[in-house]
Amino acid sequence: MPRDARELSGAWTRFQRHSFPTPSPDLAPFVERYWVVSWEYGEPYRQLIVPYPNVHLTFHDGGATVQGVRSGHQVRVLAGTSGVFGVAFRPGGFRPFLRAPVSTIMNRSVDASQVFPGALPDPVEVATVEDFLRSGLPERDAKVERAADVVATVIANPEITRVDALAHHLGTSVRELQRLFAEYVGIGPKWVIRRYRLHEVTERLSRGALIDWPALAAELGYADQAHFVRDFKDMFGESPTSYAERY
């Protein structure tokens, strides 16, 4: 379906406001950032949400929800005047709170009371949300740092397109990486690698680069162009050629 005109060329900024407060030092080992969004739409708006390897805790309309890592894009319908306060946990950073493999909530949303006992913060703002998190603050876990470091390695090294190459770069085994990601990140290392390599494709497109699609698919480690297109659509909600046409 055609993209909503209110989404394109920055038009959404007339309807939405965003801020990204940073966590306090004692919470920074677990929390990557907070995000606060408010909106005002007279007509319903389809918001495309692209996945990242982060678990989110969101506060909205007096409730709170934990959202596991999503393997594909989502579409949320925004209407009226409202807003959300979100906590984006570092890759691996939610495992100590969950006390279970993060892969058990992949592609799932659960009520926050299943993880965080006690009353929800009121009002919902950075200070009260941080007190809420501190009420159940777990011990530091070295594997949280390990998981976050591995994801950072993927981001920083665009030449890594396969899990075996990542394992070799880190001096570990594929199986060890798979166990670490299932337990702490919540989705496999292959997905994380492809997520960030595809993000680099969108950056090329936004710069107006001319793309040789079969060659690019091979560069990214795909067996053929069809698999590349499928993964791109899963992540970004449209084909790479449709995405390119908008630039």
Give residue-wise pLDDT tens across range 171-192: 999 999 999 999 999 999 999 9
pLDDT in tens, 8-65: 767 778 899 999 999 999 999 999 999 999 999 999 998 889 999 999 999 999 999 9
Q: What contacts 120, CB < 8 A, 6 or more positions away? A: 59, 62, 63, 64, 112, 132
* pLDDT of the residue at 210: 85
Domains of the chain and any CATH numbers: 8-134 (no CATH), 142-245 (1.10.10.60)
Instruction: Let me know: does 96 contact 142? Beta carbons within 8 Å.
Output: no
Amino acid 146 reads R
Alpha carbon distance 30, 145 (integer Å) = 9
Alpha carbon distance 153, 166 (integer Å) = 8
Amino acid 13 reads T
Alpha carbon distance 173, 171 (integer Å) = 7
- Among residues 21, 24, 39, the alpha carbon closest in space to that of 132 is found at 24
pLDDT higher than 80, residue 99: yes
